[in-house]
A = this chain, B = another copy of it.
């Protein structure tokens, strides 16, 4: 009986996450209410609150799920995203994946940030304190430092990752276009690594 309840809970949890993801793909985040998510997932509103605490909790869990998948791929996946490829190729692959993730989850990222800002009331805190941003920044600056130990890898990593959130790049991503950003990421990264004589 308990086992069955746990299985039901896990199924509900997945249904809620997939319903929220699907709604965010087609609607601006402010239109994706807990009520709509619950209806689309075929559960009661109370179940959403019970599983995720709040709308913010649900958004945060969706982002965390995506981030875990990417982190896994970086740590253990096949090259060039995973270990085994040259730093320049790993960085190009990582930034392409990040651009794609932005395009697939543009509305989600906006919803997540909006939630963070509303909650904290301090725009400055939103990105530096975001554990996903911190982990991406660590990976990007680490790869830059391997290829170009002579440059300010931390600053350049902030610059590269920052482009994702900036209009008009962000509006390209919301429209599902990520190849353009990925191509320019690749140009900049290959140029930067090449200039070091590597």
Contacts and interface: CB of A to CB of B under 8 A. Distances in A.
A139 B162 CA distance: 21
A126 B165 CA distance: 14
Contact of A163 (B158, B167, B171, B183): B158
Interface residues of A, number: 31
Contacts of A165: 166
Contacts of A190: 195
Interface in A141-181: 151-152, 155-156, 158-160, 162-163, 165-169, 171, 180-181
State the majority secondary structure of interface residues on A.
helix
How many identical chains are in the complex? 2
Given A126-B167, A158-B168, A169-B159, A151 B184 contact: yes
Given A152-B187, A184-B152, A128 B168 contact: yes
Interface in A124-138: 124, 126-128
Contact of A167 (B124, B187, B188, B192): B124
7 closest A-B pairs by beta carbon, nearest first, are A162-B166, A191-B195, A191-B191, A159-B163, A155-B184, A191-B192, A127-B167
Interface of A: 123-124, 126-128, 151-152, 155-156, 158-160, 162-163, 165-169, 171, 180-181, 183-184, 187-188, 190-192, 194-195
